[in-house]
Amino acid sequence: MIEDKNQEKTGLDQLGEFELIKHLTKNFTLQHKSTIKGIGDDAAVLDFKDKKAVISTDLLIEGVHFDLSYMPLKHLGYKSVMVNLSDIYAMNATATQITVSIAVSNRFPLEALEEFYSGVALACEIYKVDLVGGDTTSSTKGMLVSVTAIGEAEEGNIVYRSGAKPNDLLVVSGDLGGAYCGLQVLEREKEVFKVNPNNQPDLSPYTYIVERQLKPEARRDIKGLLEKLEILPTSMIDISDGLSSEILHLCDKSEVGCNLFEDKIPLDPTVISACEEFKMDSTLVALSGGEDYELLFTIDQKDFPKIKGNPHFTVVGHMTDKGEGVHLISRSNTKIPITAQGWNSFS
């Protein structure tokens, strides 16, 4: 869309910085009583009353975290919000506000930023969060996005990474590996496009996994689902870097070990077929792929009957004493130590 030279575009230098922010945020409405003052002053003012405030922040950099050649800007706006809300949900909290800052080079016209903000607006509407601040500036190269998400929670409901006990069950929401498989499809199509720009790819067999990559949904619903089941997880984390990395975080903070069962890892059929097509090991993809934004949590064994057979949740393992270490129990019943193979932007 940015490359379409036939449309009239508006240079960012034609608006002042404050006019730009006003223009981009004019359609955002505030939905939370806790938002006393949103955009338009030195800072936003929020009222959490007797609840605790929960804060998380993430940076997304073009060329590192996203590729605009296949990531539409509206999707990028949406995903940038999801990535952060996911952290709030991983505390078993309710996301209430966000701030969104972007820096872009001069190659982006105003219409591109409008696209980005339309994705942010859609996320705000669906996930019921208020945009309360941000910063808009120029970069010397490419685009970058910084989002801070704010949430609220009753103190007793907050779930940390550190509460898992030996014998607790390890549970994951949804299914894993889809986002990474979607990325492989998009990367392949990009290479095809480079050779033949007129090629029209048929992505329909890959709809699910491509959506997992381009338009992930944070698990806002899990808190409510667990409350209905009368389950309070003992520890929780969101899966942004891959299952193995997140298990290691839970084990590290909770000072426990873990046995993860390979045959329990939930995989969508599209993920299995994509792994066959791309000659990837589906377990490795689930362990190290990342960007699934599902929630990984532990529950007391006594809660097992409440969760058994629930289509939203899969028990994938159990926690052990710290000394037993962190292992994958393979389909052939081999015990393989789990090491961090999560995403590292510096390597």
Binding residues for ATP: 117, 134-135, 161, 240
SS3 334: coil
Applying CB under 8 A, does 205 fall inside the site for a copy of itself?
A: no
What Å distances lie between residue 319 and 73, 205, 260, 285, 288, CA to CA? 41, 37, 9, 22, 20
Applying CB under 8 A, does 2 fall inside the site for a copy of itself?
A: no
Site for a copy of itself in 116-175 (CB under 8 A): 132-135, 137-142, 144, 146, 148-151, 153, 155, 158, 160-162
Longest dimension (CA), the chain: 65
Using the rule CB under 8 A, which residue among 6, 196, 198, 344 binds a copy of itself? 344
Cβ atoms of 41 and 132 within 8 Å: the answer is no
Rounded to 5°, the CA angle 264-252-239 comes to 45
Applying CB under 8 A, does 36 fall inside the site for a copy of itself?
A: yes
Q: Which residue from 238, 103, 97 is spatially nearest to 161, judged by alpha carbons?
A: 238
Smallest separation (angstroms) from a copy of itself to the CB of 343: 8
Q: Which residue from 135, 25, 131, 46 is spatially nearest to 81, judged by alpha carbons?
A: 131
Cβ atoms of 78 and 110 within 8 Å: the answer is no
Applying CB under 8 A, does 58 fall inside the site for a copy of itself?
A: yes
Q: Please identify, using beta-carbon distances, which residue of 254 and 259 lies nearer to a copy of itself.
A: 254
Name the strands in the sheet holding 326-329, side by side, starting at the edge strand that comes first in the sequence.
235-238, 295-299, 169-173, 313-320, 257-261, 326-329, 335-337
Applying CB under 8 A, does 23 fall inside the site for a copy of itself?
A: no
SS3 253: helix
Q: Which range touches a copy of itself (CB under 8 A), out of 59-67, 182-190, 261-269, 273-281?
A: 59-67
Using the rule CB under 8 A, which residue among 27, 29, 63, 107 binds a copy of itself? 63
The pair of structure tokens assigned to 222 is 């899990």
User: What sign does the CA torsion over 60, 312, 247, 235 have?
Assistant: positive
Q: Please identify, using beta-carbon distances, which residue of 99 and 298 lies nearer to a copy of itself.
A: 99
Applying CB under 8 A, does 54 fall inside the site for a copy of itself?
A: yes
Q: Please identify, using beta-carbon distances, which residue of 51 and 74 lies nearer to a copy of itself.
A: 51
Using the rule CB under 8 A, which residue among 25, 28, 32, 65 binds a copy of itself? 65
Applying CB under 8 A, does 253 fall inside the site for a copy of itself?
A: yes
Q: Please identify, using beta-carbon distances, which residue of 107 and 264 lies nearer to a copy of itself.
A: 107
Q: Please identify, using beta-carbon distances, which residue of 133 and 282 lies nearer to a copy of itself.
A: 133
User: What sign does the CA torsion over 245, 174, 127, 299 have?
Assistant: negative
Q: Please identify, using beta-carbon distances, which residue of 170 and 236 lies nearer to a copy of itself.
A: 236
What Å distances lie between residue 234 and 104, 156, 210, CA to CA? 41, 12, 33
Q: How many residues bind a copy of itself (CB under 8 A)?
A: 79
Site for a copy of itself in 74-103 (CB under 8 A): 86-88, 90-91, 93, 97, 99, 101-103
Q: Which residues line the annotated binding site for substrate?
A: 65, 291, 343
DSSP characters over 299-331:
E-GGGHHHHTT-TTEEEEEEEE-GGG-EEEE-T
Smallest separation (angstroms) from a copy of itself to the CB of 82: 14
Smallest separation (angstroms) from a copy of itself to the CB of 176: 18
Using the rule CB under 8 A, which residue among 24, 46, 73, 258 binds a copy of itself? 46
Map residues 312-341 to x or -, x wherever contact with a copy of itself holds by CB under 8 A: ----------------------------x-
Q: Which residue from 29, 341, 91 is spatially nearest to 218, judged by alpha carbons?
A: 91
